[in-house]
Structure 1
Amino acid sequence: MPRIPRPAALTTAILLALPGLVLADNRGDAHDHDTARTLDAVEVTASPLRNAIDDLARPVEVLAGEELDARKAGTLGETLERQTGVQSSYFGAGVGRPIIRGQDGARVQVLTGGTGAADVSTISADHAVTIEPFLADQIEVLKGPATLLYGSGAIGGAVNVVDGRVPTQRAGRDLTGRAEIRHGSVSDENTGMGRIDADAGPLTFHADLFRRDSGDYRIPGYAFSPELIAEELAEGEELEHFARGRLPNSALTTEGGAVGASWFGERAWFGASANTYRSNYGIPPGAHAHEGGEEEDEEHGEEVVRLDLRQDRLDLRGGFRGLGPLQELNWRATRSQYEHTEFEGDAVGTVFENEGTEVRLEAVQNEIAGWRGAFGLQYGRRDFAAIGDEAFVPPSVTRDAGLFLVQERDFGDFKLELGARHDRVRIDPEGALADVERNATSLAVGGLWRFSELMHLSINLDRAERAPTAEELFSDGPHIATQSYEIGDAALDKESATSAELGLHLHQGRFEGKLSVYRTAFDDFIYLSDTGAELDGLPVRAWIQGDATFTGWEAEGSAELFENASGLWTLRVFADGVDAKLDDGGRLPRIAPGRVGADLNWSLAGWRARIGAVRVAEQDEVAAGESATDGYTLVDAGLAYHWDVGATGWEAFLEGRNLTNQEARAHTSFLKDFASLPGRNVAVGLRVSF
């Protein structure tokens, strides 16, 4: 197990003490909390069986409702970063991919409505995820291997955004919808979104629209880290030339929308949506430029790099019910066209294109001898091309065909979950390079033991495999986002992960707590290694394989402290930590440090408020050639008032993030030495629902 930082030890003590504090406060309370509280039956749509979250042995978290409203941000990673075990990759205001338990990139699948995002965010750290968090109804985080449902690209987990663009059920009224506008101070950001759903006979219609504009965001001090500034000063640079107060070239514009409709019959339904997503965002100076030498710098200066992307997407979904031995037969199909252009000043640098197709068929069986389950097929094709001087990956076509089976059965107070999946992945690169084909097989067993009305214990064992990606196999060129010259290896084998996790869930009266520990041992883990050589002014890094081990823990507790004339007061505390090492010595880069946080919430009539803080520990256990990162504390707060006018609900809100204007640098980011996180941000806005 990794070393537990002092803040985490404090949180563990709080978790153990909370039930007693809550029960002590219950004296004189008119409410009866002696029996176990009935948990909200939040449905996890990522599961073919659509289980409630408390009925799953697999580790899943769902962000929805008021909590989602309070956490929504411009990127998916930033929206989820207060969930236990989840951080953001952070590459400026426009890019933030979720990191789950220390794993990111090609090991974490990002989905919308159960199918892949079909962007190129796994190719490079500066590429955005084409999903808008402000449109989400709920966001589901599947921790640990999610390969059974989504293939080898989910060996580290998956994030599924449910946005309702293809209606899966009736709206329930002739017209329903919601809208939001907000303004943020840190970057003079203006965000607006609107959505409507309407029933018309057997049809349900959907439409949405969003837009976000922001300027360069404010920072507490210098953009460059003190260590980097010291290096530049030693080489003769003058201090006044360093950006301070605002992060240059961090402005962005993002917009998009969708129209969709579904037809619902007695035993069948069919739906479709057409979506578009567009974004133009900048890369902070120093993070996306060659070190071309003094002559080049004096003649041309530092180039401003901006990315302009567009994705157009068609989603089709449908299903049948009551087909003999099948309870349901559901299908999904997605076709996506993606392109983004990297502009270096006014000149076109590199163009990335990606055409994606994904088809998925899920059959849910009727119960057989107590067994409930589903099986299915999945096929995906990615036609990728990069054109330009910085195209470090050759054009390629990737095909992935998978077959999966999941089963579950109750044995009294014990629930058993089983699953298996096999994928065949083939990558055809353009040119003289040989095709690569890999098979990946994953097996899983999980158990949920409800040994009392107040507690249940979960255990999960997995053996998962991942096929290497095109960039790991065929890279050969300067990858400016990571400031390295990357070299792939077409002989890379698949990587295998053996995982074990033990979890304890307590719900006693007003208290709910979760504690989990996990360990994942990788055979032939694929990672970038420094070679010590230099090419084109960049360090040469090669994709190689070696055994590695991830160990970690997560703890979370929430309690209703008391409820009286002053309102309802609740407290949430959480902490997590992960450690990643190569078995032959050394550590893996950009592994998130330990965290501990707390949120105090209050509500009374139409009012609600919250104040919280998260302490991120120093990260000094770093990979070779990687610098350490200082710890920091972020404080945020929120205030909202809700009122109804007829059938329309209105809510005015005020939110503050990083209220102490703390300088913070995310260790998980390639940008940590070039850009700090945003400074103090106060946002004001209005929501309406009808």
Structure 2
Amino acid sequence: MSLPMTCRRSSPRLLSLCLAIAGALAAQSAIAADSSAATETSDDAAHPPASDTRHAEHAEKSKRAVDLDTVVVTASPLRTTAGDLGKPAAVLAGERLDEDRASSLGETVSSIPGVQSSNFGPGVGRPIIRGLDGPRVSVLSDGLSTEDVSTVSQDHSPAIEPFLADQIEVLKGPSTLLYGSGAIGGVVNVVDGRIPEEAIENGFGGRAEARFFGGDQDGTTDMARIDGGTDRFALHADAVYRNAKDYDTPDGVQANSFIDTKSGAVGGSLLGDWGFVGLSASRFEDGYGNPGEPGDLSAGERGVHLQLRQNRYDLKGGLKDLWGEGNGLRFSFGHTDYDHIEFEGDEPGTTFTKNANEGRVEATFGNRDAWQGAVGVQGTDSTFAAVGEESFVPQTTTRGYGAFGIARRSWGDFQLDFGARVDKVKSEPDAMASRDFTPLSLSLSGGWKLGENWRLTANLDHAERAPVEEELFANGPHIATLAYEVGDPNLDKEAANQLELGLQYKSSLVDAKVSAYYNRFKDFIYLVDTGDQWYWDEENDYLPIRQWSQSNAIFRGFEGEATFHLADNDSGRWDLRAFGDTVRATLADGGGNVPRIPPSRLGAQLRWENGDWRASLGATRVNRQDKVATNETPTAGYTMIDAHAARHFDTGNVGWELFVDGTNLTNQVGRVHTSFLKDDVELPGRSFDVGVRVFF
């Protein structure tokens, strides 16, 4: 097998990747010649394996994008499709995910209505769901927390790699019922398939990608994944390497915005008619600059940068049909060992560490013709520490235990879901009094099919959140946000009561969904600028003093999207997608606006497919945000125009895809309002990615 021209003319590092791909393809051909047909399974309690997804997307030349409403949401114990969930959810998979993948998780999911990204340069982007971020949005890796320190500070990156995801699930609104108080704003679950749950189709498969950045960004991202085995066992391996230099903006170079990421994992499972059980081990390394403190390279002064490392070990299993068809038991356990060092120039500064264990067991019961339900327990134990100049939070051990139950029943065209959860959370800081909390969550939702095309949903949620370490115990200079932060060890738990109404319409011409929500918080925890200053001797400068405080607050918003199927004829298939979202957040009793709330957006994308070709052109208008808190500055709006094009072709059992992506084609100046660095950091200017994907 000869290498494609892209590989033969590439860098030595990419050439090595291509040689590895070619070797894997040769092995695949040998295995395919001797292997029998793959064992077919139909377990509703497991998400589709990576091989099924791959072949569904790429086996036919006249392919269509995955219908994301039919993808099973694994973050729901009942394994419901996104279109049938009573609660608002969205899934990225298939071609849509390939086109949206970015260096950060937040940027990857930001095309979903109601979801935006924080920003601390290209190395950091945490999801913001309906104006809520940080410890209110739980980021999961196959159903368990990533257990990093990204909630402690906005310059800390989540320890997760979006380029390795099979699908990314977003649960919008309070999801504390399933995942505890850290999910009062929502959940982002990255499904990576590192522990296979079913036999690999044809006994062997995988994918690889080499992507080159151009224009105002300069760098590469390479990834490879291999799955193999028999009907009795399955093995998995993956790896990603990303390296990008400081990017350009319309106003010049954004200094200290480099990224250098390495990630990899191995995993395996034993399989059978009884279910599966498997293990995985992974390592995530990330190095990136803090563009808010760029240093002065002309004077030989390097800027502040972070070096992150996490080792993770996971156990997961599922037992089928233990007490009736479709009913079973799932369990998972994860251990993580995390640390990162913040370098000031070449000198190590503060070191952040976190060691954590998390376990989860859930059992399903009933059937779709009567009552369905699930009960489960979850426990976490973590120790966080920060040592160095920026150790503004003391070493803290946090333990949490929770139990939950959910139930569902359908009567004809009406579906009812309800559930409850109670947690016990204890935080024990060094040299300070410990705090105990008992958050309680309740949920009731209904869905009505109004004829053949319409579906109406209504949700009523009560959710509670225990304060986290930095909110309770912070006391010191937080250089990343250029402030002196003061916690309040007497904070009460935060409570939210949300009402949401949704409407869906689906026909041969239009797929549309809209939702409106009203969320009233009691004792909402936020960081307020006191107006006082702290004198910082080392820099001969002042830092503003910010205090973690509580107040009642109201969040209300609207979001929607619609895809219009314009034509499907000899010229190809033409679709127009339009979307928009807005959220308004105010403090009660005349307290003004909640700080750092994302601005409203409107967007549209025209998509074309014809045989092996596909292309799209889209524009997103991010509006001006002038509804700001005291001492917070407004942010100007901007319009981003993006384009994608790809050509798919097959050689035997191997699928190839050549692609080019363009972002910010009109070279607009864009600043992220939710970022503490918005006055100093711009988004990249006009940029292009070109690359090749291989599916085998």
Normalising by structure 1, what TM-score?
0.88
Structure 1 partner of 2:364: 364
Alignment of 1:165 onto 2:194: yes
- Indicate whether 1:271 and 2:278 are aligned: yes
- Which stretch of the first structure deviates more once superposed, 369-378 or 45-54? 369-378
2:498 is the alignment partner of 1:499: yes
Q: Is it true that 1:89 corresponds to 2:118 in the alignment?
A: yes
Structure 1 residues 92 and 38 mapped into 2: Cα distance closer, same or farther (>3 Å)?
closer
- 1:323 offset after TM fit, Å? 2.4
> C-alpha displacement at 1:510, in angstroms?
2.1
Alignment of 1:662 with 2:668, yes or no, is yes
Task: For 2:473 and 2:69, locate their aligned partners in 1 and report how far apart those are by CA, in whole Å.
Answer: 47
Q: Secondary structure at the match of 1:456?
A: strand
Contact 1:274/1:315, CA 8 A, preserved across alignment: yes
Q: Deviations over 1:114-162 (max 9, x none)?
A: 0001110000000001111111110000000010110000000010001
1:230-379 equivalences under 5 Å are: 245-286=252-293, 304-324=303-323, 327-367=327-367, 370-379=370-379
- Counterpart residue number, 1:673: 679
Q: Does 2:108 correspond to 1:79?
A: yes
Q: Tell me which amino acid in the other structure corresponds to 2:474.
A: S
User: Which residue does the alignment assign to 1:525?
Assistant: 524
CA contact (8 A) 2:194 2:266 kept: yes
SS of residue in 2 equivalent to 1:322:
coil
Q: What corresponds to 1:229 in structure 2? A: none
Q: Does structure 2 retain, via aligned residues, the 8 Å contact 1:286–1:674?
A: no
- For 1:346 and 1:40, the matched residues in 2 are separated by 49
The alignment status of 1:466 with 2:471, answered yes or no, reads no
Matches of 2:242 and 2:293 in 1, distance apart? 25
String of CA shifts for 1:319-372, please: whole Å, max 9, x gaps: 212323691111000000000000001111100000011000000113499210
> Residues 436, 670 of structure 1: CA spacing in aligned structure 2 closer, same or farther, 3 A cutoff?
same
Note the alpha carbon deviations across 1:235-294, whole angstroms, 9 max, x for none: xxxxxxxxxx1111111100110000000122132101000000110001448x9xxxxx
Q: Distance in 2 between matches of 1:459 and 1:40?
A: 18
DSSP-derived class of the 1:173 partner = helix
Following TM superposition, by how much is the alpha carbon of 1:389 offset from its aligned partner in structure 2, in angstroms? 1.1
**CA contact under 8 A between 1:285 and 1:302: conserved in structure 2?**
no
In 1: Cα distance, 2:368 partner to 2:222 partner = 49
Equivalent residues of 1:595, 1:617 under 8 A apart: yes
Decide which of 573, 591, 613 is 2:578's aligned counterpart.
573
Secondary structure of 1:682's match?
strand
Contact persistence 1:611–1:635 (CA under 8 A): yes
Q: Distance in 2 between matches of 1:682 and 1:303?
A: 28
Aligned residue number for residue 593 of structure 1: 599
Q: Is the 8 A contact 1:370 1:410 kept in 2?
A: yes
Equivalent in 633, 638, 647 of residue 641 of structure 1: 647
| In 1: Cα distance, 2:260 partner to 2:635 partner | 30
CA distance in structure 2 between the aligned counterparts of 1:133 and 1:600, rounded to whole angstroms: 25
| Cα shift readout 1:480-526 (whole Å, capped 9, x = no counterpart) | 12111111111100010000000000002221111110010000001
Q: Distance in 2 between matches of 1:414 and 1:544?
A: 43
Does 2:279 match 1:219?
A: no
Cα separation, 2, equivalents of 1:46 and 1:40: 14
- Other-structure match for 1:552: 557
Equivalent residue of 1:327, what SS? Answer: coil
Give the Cα–Cα distance (whole angstroms) in 1 for the partners of residues 183 and 338 of structure 2: 21
Partner of 1:189: 219
- Structure 1 residues 562 and 63: CA distance shift in structure 2, 3 A: same
The root-mean-square deviation of aligned C-alpha atoms, in Å, is 1.6
Q: Which has the higher contact order (CA 8 A, sep 6+)?
A: 1
Measure, in 1, the Cα distance between the counterparts of 2:402 and 2:74: 20
Tell me how far apart the structure 1 counterparts of residues 609 and 125 of structure 2 sit (CA, whole Å). Answer: 31
Unaligned ranges ≥5, structure 2? 1-65, 537-541
Q: Say which SS state the counterpart of residue 99 (structure 2) adopts.
A: helix
- Relative to structure 1, the CA distance from residue 641 to residue 618 in structure 2 (aligned partners, 3 Å threshold; closer, same or farther) is same
Relative to structure 1, the CA distance from residue 491 to residue 302 in structure 2 (aligned partners, 3 Å threshold; closer, same or farther) is farther
What residue is the counterpart of 2:543 in the other structure? 538
> Contact 1:172–1:199 (CA<8 Å) still a contact in 2?
no
Q: Distance in 2 between matches of 1:279 and 1:180?
A: 19
Gaps of 5+ in 1: 1-36, 222-244, 290-296
Which residue of the partner structure matches residue 112 of structure 1?
Answer: 141
Cα distance, 1:39–1:318 mapped onto 2, change above 3 Å: closer
1:609 alignment counterpart: 615
CA distance in 2, matches of 1:617, 1:39: 28
CA distance in 2, matches of 1:327, 1:610: 43
Distance 2:302 2:207 in 1: 42
Q: Deviations over 1:363-406 (max 9, x none)?
A: 01134992100000000111111000111000010001000001
Structure 1 counterpart of 2:639, one-letter code: T
**2:557 counterpart letter in structure 1:** G
CA distance in 2, matches of 1:204, 1:381: 31
Q: Deviations over 1:144-200 (max 9, x none)?
A: 001011000000001000110111221122210000001011321111000010023
- SS of 1:323's equivalent in the other structure is coil
Aligned positions of 1:139-154 closer than 5 A? 139-154=168-183
1:679 partner amino acid: G
1:362–1:376 CA contact under 8 A, matched in 2: yes
In the alignment, the residues of structure 1 paired with residue 358 and residue 412 of structure 2 have an alpha-carbon distance, to the nearest angstrom, of 39
Matched letter for residue 564 of structure 1 = N
Q: In 2, Cα distance between the equivalents of 1:211 and 1:38?
A: 30
Counterparts in 2 of 1:167 and 1:522: CA distance versus 1, 3 Å: same
**Deviation, structure 1 residue 82:** 1.1
Return the offset for 1:430. Answer: 1.0
In structure 1, C-alpha distance between the alignment counterparts of 2:100 and 2:322, rounded to whole Å: 42
- 1:637-676 CA deviation, whole Å, 9 max, x = no partner? 0110000001100000011000111010011111110100
What's 2:513 paired with? Answer: 514
How far did residue 40 of structure 1 move?
Answer: 5.3
C-alpha contact (below 8 Å) 2:409/2:416 kept by paired residues: yes
Question: Are the aligned partners of 2:250 and 2:667 in contact in 1 as well (CA < 8 Å)?
Answer: yes
Match of 1:618 among 624, 635, 642: 624
SS at structure 2 position matched to 1:264: strand
Whole-angstrom distance in 2 between the partners of 1:366 and 1:579: 41
Matches of 2:529 and 2:67, distance apart in 1:
53
Instruction: Report the secondary structure of 2:470's partner residue.
Output: helix
- Read off the aligned partner of 2:555 and give its amino acid letter: F
Seen in structure 2, the aligned counterparts of structure 1 residues 302 and 498 have a Cα distance that, compared at 3 Å, is: farther
Of the structure 1 ranges 265-274 and 601-610, higher mean CA displacement relative to structure 2 is found in 265-274
Q: What is the count of residue pairs matched by the alignment?
A: 620
Cross-structure match for 1:124: 153
1:196 and 1:301, CA in 2 relative to 1: closer, same or farther beyond 3 A? Answer: closer
Q: Within 2, Cα distance between the matches of 1:369 and 1:682?
A: 51
Q: Distance in 2 between matches of 1:333 and 1:445?
A: 29
Letter in 1 for 2:361: L
One-letter identity of the residue aligned with 1:575? G
